[in-house]
Structure formats: structure tokens, C-alpha cells
Amino acid sequence: MKFNFNEPLLGLDLKPVMQEGKEANLGKMLGNHINGMTGEGDSIKIRGWGIKMWSGEDIELDESDLEVLRGLIKKLPMASHLIRGQALVLLNRKPAPEIGG
């Protein structure tokens, strides 16, 4: 399954959160937070996910990886509920079917 976190972070009013005159990006924020965690999981894989999130690229997850990422997001110590909640909602969306698959 492919997921992409390259979307605006939404505030309580469901409008994009602004930071320094620009829309805050969920992927950039989540990628930074995930790569700031220590001591849990496959560091190489998690680093790769964070880089792809930050860069706006798709990440490919099987069911096992999806559960790992959900668990990591739920435990992010410095991320707000806005970040964690929006990321978990995104992961719960049914991904678009693969073309030719």
C-alpha cells in the first residue's frame, strides 16, 4: 500500500495551519518527529520513511510496516494531537488501487 503525507497540516478549524507565512506540511513535520525518536524499531527503515515523508514522496507499506508506523505515530513524544491525529486518519484511508495490480 502506498501512502503520501504531503498535505497541509489542518488546524481545529480544518484550515491549513500557517507557519512563518506558509502552510505547515504534515509530511515534513511527521518526518522530522519520526526521525527524532530513539530506541524503537528498524532505524534504517524508519529513517527512510521519514526522509520520504519530508520529501513529499510516497511510502510503500505492507500490513506489518503499517502497524509499526501506526505504533510509532501514537508514541511520538513531541508531536501534537493535530499531527498524530491527521497522520493516523491518513493511514486509515483506503489507498487507491494500484494500476495494473
Distance CA 81, CA 98 (A): 31
**Which amino acid is it at 61?**
L
User: What are the residue ranges spanned by the domains of the chain?
Assistant: 2-92
Model-level pTM?
0.85
Return the bridge partners of 10, or none: 16
Q: What is the pLDDT of residues 43-79, one digit of tens each?
A: 999 999 999 999 999 999 999 999 999 999 999 888 8
**Residue 23 pLDDT grade (very low, low, confident, very high; cuts 50, 70, 90):** very high
